[in-house]
Chains A and B, each alone.
Chain A
Amino acid sequence: SQKIEQNSEALNIQEGKTATLTCNYTNYSPAYLQWYRQDPGRGPVFLLLIRENEKEKRKERLKVTFDTTLKQSLFHITASQPADSATYLCALGNYGQNFVFGPGTRLSVLP
C-alpha cells in the first residue's frame, strides 16, 4: 500500500536559517503534491501545489521541489522566523483521486 513519510516528527532550527522539510513516498505515483501548514488547535491551511512535471515552485520565502525519480519533495522556508513555527503536512494526489496526507513535521524556529 502507499506510504508517505515526513523526515522527522519535529525539527528545531535557529531564526534566520533555512528550514528544509522532507516528504518521501513509496508505492505511489502522484500527479500532484501539496504542502499545508497547521497551527495548534487549527485546521490545515494550503500553501503550495506542485505538479509532477514541475521541478520547483516558489512563493515568497517558500520553495518546493518535486523529484519523481527519488519519490521525494523538499519544502524550504528561507530566512525562517519564529512565526513559521507550525506543523507542516504534505499531501499527494492523482487525477480524479483524493489527496493522501503524510503525518506532518512540527517545525520550531528558535529566536
Chain B
Amino acid sequence: DAGITQSPRHKVTETGTPVTLRCHQTENHRYMYWYRQDPGHGLRLIHYSYGVKDTDKGEVSDGYSVSRSKTEDFLLTLESATSSQTSVYFCAISDRRRMNTGELFFGEGSRLTVL
C-alpha cells in the first residue's frame, strides 16, 4: 500500500469553526491532491499541488485553502466550515513521471460533519 496517512479520520464540528485536514505521504511523490466525495457527484477535485509551495485550484475550491511547506505534507483548511462542506475528503498522490499508468494513490479518507 502507498504510504498515505490522513488525519483526522473523523471529525464533527460546528458551522463557522476552522478545520484543518492533514495528508502525509512517505512516497516522495511530487503531486498531491484533495478531493471531496459526495453521493451522486463522485470525486471532485478541490485543490492540488505540484511541488512544495506550488498549488492550484480544482473544480470546487471555494471555501477551501491549502498549503504545502514540505514534500510529504499537504494541508486542507476550511477557514469557516459550513454544512455544505460535510463530506468525505480524500487525499491522493501521484508521480506523473510514471506515465505508463498515471495512477492516483488514495488515502483512507477523512469524514467531516459540520453541524
B40/A99 in contact, CB under 8 A:
no
Total chain A interface residues with beta-carbon distance under 8 A: 21
| C-alpha gap A102/B40 in the complex (Å) | 9
B74 lies within 8 A of chain A by Cβ = no
B106/A45 in contact, CB under 8 A:
yes
Whole-angstrom distance between the Cβ of B93 and the nearest chain A Cβ: 11
B75 lies within 8 A of chain A by Cβ = no
B109/A49 in contact, CB under 8 A:
no
Q: Which residues of chain A have C-beta atoms less than 8 A from B102's C-beta?
A: 32, 34, 49, 93, 99
Q: Which residues of chain B have C-beta atoms less than 8 A from A111's C-beta?
A: none
Total chain B interface residues with beta-carbon distance under 8 A: 24
Q: Which of B13-21, B41-49, B64-72, B77-85 lies at the interface with chain A?
A: B41-49
Q: Which of A12-20, A36-44, A60-68, A78-86 lies at the interface with chain B?
A: A36-44
A43/B42 in contact, CB under 8 A:
no
| C-alpha gap A102/B105 in the complex (Å) | 17
A89/B42 in contact, CB under 8 A:
yes
B3 lies within 8 A of chain A by Cβ = no
A101/B42 in contact, CB under 8 A:
yes
A41/B106 in contact, CB under 8 A:
no
Return the contact of A98 from the options B48, B107, B108 (Cβ within 8 A). Answer: B48
A103/B42 in contact, CB under 8 A:
yes
Whole-angstrom distance between the Cβ of B62 and the nearest chain A Cβ: 16
Q: Which residues of chain B have C-beta atoms less than 8 A from A28's C-beta?
A: none
A98/B101 in contact, CB under 8 A:
no
A41/B43 in contact, CB under 8 A:
no
| C-alpha gap A86/B108 in the complex (Å) | 15
A43-B92, A100-B59, A103-B42 known; 8 new pairs, CB 8 Å cut-off, are: A34-B103, A41-B109, A44-B90, A46-B101, A46-B103, A49-B101, A89-B43, A102-B42
| Residues of B near any A CB (own CB < 8 A) | 4, 33, 35, 40-45, 48, 58-59, 90, 92, 100-109
